[in-house]
Structures are given as structure tokens and as C-alpha cells.
Structure 1
Amino acid sequence: MRHVSKVFSNGTLALKDMSLDVRGGEFISLLGPSGCGKSTALRIIAGLGAPTSGSIDWPTSKINQKGLPEGDIGFVFQDPTLMPWSTVYENVRLPLKLKRVAKADSHDRIMDGLASVGLADFAKSYPRELSGGMRMRVSIARAMVTRPKLLLMDEPFAALDEITRQKLNDDVLRLWRQFGMTVIFVTHSVYESAYLSSRIVVMRARPGQVYSDLQIDQPPTREGDYRTSEGYRQTCQTVSEALQSAITAAEVRP
């Protein structure tokens, strides 16, 4: 992102002069209070909205008509956004169908995607037959089925209970390591960002800007007792202090 600003039609200045470099293979969390522009920034990166000024620059020559890298982006929304009239299998197939990939050529990729999130046995089920956490897993499988290099996630677990949220955090970390993709993850949870990230970008409130950029020096494999480790506690404290500082800075901004 190069000096990106976003003004909505009602005059709201959501982002102001926001710049952000993302390196391949990183797991970046965008952390900040509600209304600070995290989701707006993510949607601009995804091409779901245009910046009022500034630009998004991609390190590839394969750019489509919308200015995005061809086939390289997956997006997981806050809600699963599944088609209720379609099976789990057909929901995951949707991105491949839009790309006009033949059904016979899609089957293995769909089943691999479902297996990667533990839902291979639910391919013929409908969304109404699944729990909230299972529906979100379907959404993740759908985003992964095209093998994206960049996965964008917009507070996907915010509405889930803590046990389900922790399990899905572990699943996402496993997929990140398995496929070597880059992840940008929007959250307002200090604890979630500290657990998931290799890097945390703290934003301050509207207009959104990068306030601090924290490199997380913790092992990429964070399972078992990591949530009760001293390293995790210290990371949470550092991130919490950075977030509080960003909130204070926004409050005293003229």
C-alpha cells in the first residue's frame, strides 16, 4: 500500500496516507479498535473497494483488468457467506466454477480443501446442518481451493465461542505453514493477534493509519502449551501496550 487514503461518499475519512509493505510468507495481523479502518484496508487490497488516493502495488506482471494479481487472492469474510441452497461441496466449488474449471478437474481439489479443514465427511451436507465453526471452516476451504498466494481474513472468528475460536486459530496456522502462503488477518483481539502472527500492524482510530509495526519473535509452531507460556504472555503484554498507546494517540489528536 502506497499512501492510501479512503473517503466514503458520506464524507467519512476512513484511511489517511496509509503505507504498508507485505513480504511473502508473512502472517500479518491488522490490529486496532473498531472503526479504525482495518476492514476498509483489507477490502482495498482485495479489490473490493478503490482507494480515493494512493495505490496498491503488486510484485507480479500477471495483473488482471481490476489491477489484481491473477488468481492469487483468497478472501474469508466475517460471516461464512455460504449459499444455503447448495451443499458444502458446491459451496467450495464456487471459485473454481467461476473460473470455468471443469467439474471433473475440480473434484480432487475440492475434497483436498475439505479434508484440510476436517470436513471431508460433510461434502453432501447443507450449511443449515453445520455448526457455526463448521460453516466457517467451509468458508476457509472455499478461499483455499484456488491455492491463493495471499489469504485475506476479515475478523472471521469474532462471533465464535472461545473454544471453537482457538481450534480454528490452530487450523489457520497449520494451513499457513502447510501451503506457505501470505496471510493478512484483521482482528481487534490482542490475544488472537499475538497467537497467530509473525508480525502485527497496530492501527490507530479514524482516520486509520499504521501506528506501530511489531515483529513477533516466537516459534511458528504454536500449539500445546504455548498459550500458557511466558513467551506468549510477554507478547500479549507488548501488543496490548502498543494498542493502548495507539488509542491514546488517537484521543489526543487535534
Structure 2
Amino acid sequence: MTAPAPLTTPADVARNAAGRPVVQLRGVGKRYSNGTLAVAGVDLDLRRGEFASLLGPSGCGKSTVLRMIAGLGEPSAGRIDWPGAPRDGRGQPVRDVGFVFQEPTLMPWATALQNVMLPLRLEKVPSREAADRAAAALQSVGLDAFLRAYPRELSGGMKMRVSIARALVTEPRILLLDEPFAALDEITRHKLNDDLLALWAKAGFTVLFVTHSVFESVYLSQRIVVMAARPGRIVADLGIDAPFPRDAAFRTSVEYAEACKIVSARLAQAIVS
């Protein structure tokens, strides 16, 4: 049995990550109108094609950071840069992100196909092309037999697959996921972890995955960014050297257990810091 691979340093992560940064956060903070300082001084680079997780306790600002990257909220301090991104007519960078929320947020009166077509309709993509692309996205998440099904006819895991397909149908450069599997049973969660990794390996988009699960973050990620609360801030940036693809054998390996132990220790420090 080989010795467990060590966790790398942030410098190793930056050196080994593929490509240049697709988004950079510098000194980013968020203070709400009630005076609450939710996030402060966040510096973070996401590089092309990497799979990174934001790990931390509830209330540490993980979702706030994710939403600011997506443009669903503006930072009250610092800046978010998009190196190399095309510009729109106002000179603003095109973010080109897909977002998967904690809940599937599907329209109950629309079929799976119609739900996935929504982002394309908003972009005024012709109906036939939109339907074909939505069908292909649903096929990529294993739901090609459920194109005409309504949300009420789908399980929780299937609804989340529809949500992922909807986020991917525009072929974004960055996929942002806000604890998408937290409410699912363990078997379904593990299966969706594997499916997400397969989609990432095939398409090569950048992933930022929010979770409060050490075990999920170690299984999925090349890199884990640990956050602490009051205010939300980054306290550790760790790399996971285990190769891909990962499978059930990895979950029971010494390497996985050792990585979980180290990440758990850093998370425990974040909770008391």
C-alpha cells in the first residue's frame, strides 16, 4: 500500500492549475444594509479547468462569495476581475457562468425540457436549436427518458439533475454550485458527485462548489478553500493530490482518510478562529 499523498501548498495549486485565472477576487467584502459584515478581505483566483470547493461552517459567507462571482450581488469592498473575458456593449466583462442553487428552483408548470430551455429562451436562441441543446443537456445528466416529465413526477435527485442541466445548457466557462446535494440521501449524493466529476472531466469548465462537508469536498476537489465566519474570510487554501477519476475505492482509501483528517483539522481551526 502506498503512502498517502500530501496536501499541497497554495503555491503548488497555483503552479499546477491549468491555464490562466478566469476570475480573480481582490480584497472582496460584503456589508449588508443592516450593517452586518458578511465577508471581508477575500482574495481568490479560480483557474481555467480546475475544480475548487469553498468549505466552511454555516454563516461564513460561502454562498455570499458565490453570488458575488455570479453577479447576483455586488461587493461593497474590493473588486472582481475577469481576465480575458469578452466585453459587452457597456464595456463590462461577460461573466459566462452557470449557477446551481441549493434547491432545484424548477418551474412546476414546465416540463424538464422546458425548464432547461429557459436560459436559451432568455438569450433568444431559436426554439428548435434551444430544444435540441436542452435535450442534449438532459441526456448528459442521464435524463433523456424524462424530457416531458414535470417536476412533480421527478425524485429529488432527478430534479437536481435538471437544475444542473439547465446551468450547463449555455456551455458556461464557470459552474457555480451552492450546496446542491445537501438535502439528498447519501446514496444519491454519492452518485451525483460521480456524475458531476464526469461532466467536469468531459467539458473542462471551471467549478466552484460550496459545501460544509469535509468528505464531499475532499472527494470532489483539486483544491479546497476553507472559510471562517464573523466576518467571512479565507483561512486556508489546500490542494488535493489524488488523481482522477475518483471512485468508491478512493472513498475507502488511506489517502482519502488522511486528506479528510487534515482538512477537518483546518476546518476545526476555522470554526474557533
Structure 1 length-normalised TM: 0.95
Query: Which residue matches 2:16?
Result: none
C-alpha deviations, 1:55-93, integer Å up to 9, x for none?
A: 1000124133594425x2100000000000000000000
Q: Secondary structure of the equivalent of 1:221?
A: coil
C-alpha deviations, 1:218-252, integer Å up to 9, x for none?
A: 11210131111111111111110110111122xxx
C-alpha deviations, 1:107-163, integer Å up to 9, x for none?
A: 321111111111001000000000000000000000000111100000001111111
Asked whether 1:147 is paired with 2:174, we answer no
Asked whether 1:129 is paired with 2:153, we answer yes
Q: Share of identical aligned residues, percent?
A: 60
Query: Which residue matches 1:50?
Result: 74
Shift of residue 213, structure 1, vs aligned partner: 0.2
| 2:94 aligns with one of 50, 54, 69 | 69
C-alpha distance in 2, partners of 1:12/1:100? 39
Q: Secondary structure of the equivalent of 1:201?
A: strand
Q: Secondary structure of the equivalent of 1:21?
A: strand
C-alpha distance in 1, partners of 2:129/2:136? 12
Asked whether 1:246 is paired with 2:270, we answer yes
C-alpha distance in 2, partners of 1:137/1:68? 29
Change (3 A) 1:19 1:86: same
| 1:81 aligns with one of 91, 100, 105 | 105
Query: Which residue matches 2:235?
Result: 211
| 1:189 aligns with one of 183, 197, 213 | 213
Structure 2 length-normalised TM: 0.89
Q: Secondary structure of the equivalent of 2:172?
A: coil
C-alpha distance in 2, partners of 1:59/1:10? 33
Point out where structure 2 has 5 or more consecutive residues left out of the alignment. 1-24
Query: Which residue matches 1:22?
Result: 46
C-alpha distance in 1, partners of 2:92/2:193? 31
Structure 1 stretch displaced more, 60-69 or 184-193: 60-69
* 8 A Cα contact 2:26 2:42, kept in partner: yes
Q: Secondary structure of the equivalent of 1:2?
A: strand
Equivalent positions of 1:94-105 (< 5 A) are 94-105=118-129
- How many residue pairs were aligned? 248
Equivalent positions of 1:224-243 (< 5 A) are 224-243=248-267
Counterpart of 1:112, as a letter, is A
Change (3 A) 1:9 1:66: farther
Asked whether 1:221 is paired with 2:245, we answer yes
Query: Which residue matches 2:195?
Result: 171
C-alpha distance in 1, partners of 2:85/2:166? 26
Q: State the superposition RMSD in angstroms.
A: 1.2
Asked whether 1:199 is paired with 2:219, we answer no
C-alpha distance in 2, partners of 1:67/1:236? 40
* 8 A Cα contact 1:8 1:14, kept in partner: yes
